[in-house]
Amino acid sequence: MKSFPPKVLANNLNIALIFQKTISTIGCGIKTVKKKLVLPGKEIASTEEMIAGEGTFEDKGKIRASRIGEVRVDKNSKVVTVQPVTSTPVRVNRGDIIIGEVREVRNSIVVVDILQVEGNKRSLYGDKTAVIRVAEISERYVRDPLTEYRIGDIVRAKVTQDYPNLQLSTKGSEFGAIKSLCVKCRYPLKLKGKILECERCGNKENRKISKYYGQGNV
What is the Rg, in whole angstroms, of the alpha carbon atoms belonging to the chain? 23
Q: Same CATH topology for 7-83 and 97-205?
A: yes
3-state secondary structure 60-126: CCEEEECCCEEEEEECCCCEEEEECCCCCCECCCCCCEEEEEEEEECCCEEEEEEEEECCECCCECC
The pLDDT score that the predictor gives to residue 218 is 61
Per-residue pLDDT of 56-103, as tens digits, reads: 999 999 999 988 788 999 989 999 999 876 666 788 999 999 999 999
Domain ranges across the chain? 7-83, 97-205
CATH fold for domain 7-83: OB fold (Dihydrolipoamide Acetyltransferase, E2P) (2.40.50)
CA distance 3 to 91: 29
CA distance 105 to 181: 15
Per-residue pLDDT of 176-194, as tens digits, reads: 999 999 999 999 999 999 8
pTM, two decimals, is 0.62
Q: Which of 56-65, 111-120, 122-131 has the lowest mean pLDDT?
A: 122-131
Does residue 63 or residue 119 have the better pLDDT? 63
C-alpha distances out from residue 72 to 10, 21, 43, 143, Å: 21, 12, 14, 56
CATH class in words for 97-205: mainly beta
Confidence of residue 22 (pLDDT cuts 50, 70, 90): very low
Does residue 124 or residue 50 have the better pLDDT? 50
The pLDDT score that the predictor gives to residue 203 is 96
C-alpha distances out from residue 145 to 135, 156, 208, Å: 10, 16, 10
Confidence of residue 11 (pLDDT cuts 50, 70, 90): very low
